[in-house]
Amino acid sequence: MAKKSTKQGRPRAESATDDAPAPAEIATTTPNPETTSLENHPLQFTSTLTPHFDMFAYSYAAMVLVGGIAGYLMAGSVMSLAMGVPMGLLLFYAAHVVSKDPLRAWLMLACAGIMTATMSARFYKTWVFFPAGWMTMTSSMIALRYLERVVYAAHVASERAKKEKNK
């Protein structure tokens, strides 16, 4: 097969697609002034037919669950097992809910808030970074991520109520 050179001077192999016409330019559309920015927001995803896998939520849930089990196995902490496993399972359920509809993030926010408060108290008491400091940092980042979604969901609800009221 003969080689063609590209604009950068590097050779590339010929393919059957070289004869294909160039793709049409994507038409840019101007935004409709009658639509609000809420309809174009990236969190405006409520379809359960095509679920969105929320990697952060599931990763956080797995970290809490595995951390509770590891705390029991490595340090003999029954409290880690008693709190880590139920919280991890609750977080898996919350991750499932958030994956179906990102605007229903209140349960994930509540769990992350509880974890932030609990682990920051442990970190303040011991000043040991792992696991208390690590979980404080991680839980607070997760809480902030889902706080934005809860606030946005309240905004969407108020805008929809205003639209209904004006009809």
For the chain, the distance separating the N- and C-terminal CA atoms, rounded to the nearest angstrom, is 67
Domain annotation covers residue 108: yes
Any domain includes 36: no
The answer to whether the beta carbons of residues 84 and 65 sit under 8 Å apart is yes
Q: For the chain, what is the domain count?
A: 1
Tell me how far apart the alpha carbons of residues 155 and 165 are, in angstroms, rounded to a whole number.
15
Cβ atoms within 10 Å, residue 59: 13
Query: pTM for the full model?
Result: 0.66
CA nearest to 146, candidates 93, 110, 92, 96: 110
- CB contact set of 66 (below 8 Å; sequence gap of 6+): 88
Closest to 111 (Cα-Cα) out of 65, 46, 71: 65
Each residue's pLDDT, cut to its tens digit, for the chain (167 residues) gives 555 544 555 555 554 445 544 444 444 444 444 444 445 555 554 443 345 788 899 999 999 999 999 999 999 989 999 999 999 999 999 999 988 887 788 999 999 999 999 999 999 999 999 888 999 999 999 999 999 988 988 888 888 888 888 87
Count of Cβ atoms closer than 10 Å to residue 95 Cβ: 23
- Print the domain residue range for 63: 54-166
Report the amino acid identity of residue 81: L
SS3 111: helix
Q: Is residue 27 part of a domain?
A: no
Residue 117 lies in a domain: yes
* Buried-state track 23-40, b at ≥16 Cβ within 10 A, e below 16: eeeeeeeeeeeeeeeeee
pLDDT at 41: 53
Task: Supply the DSSP symbol for 114.
Answer: H
CB 132 within 8 A of CB 123: yes
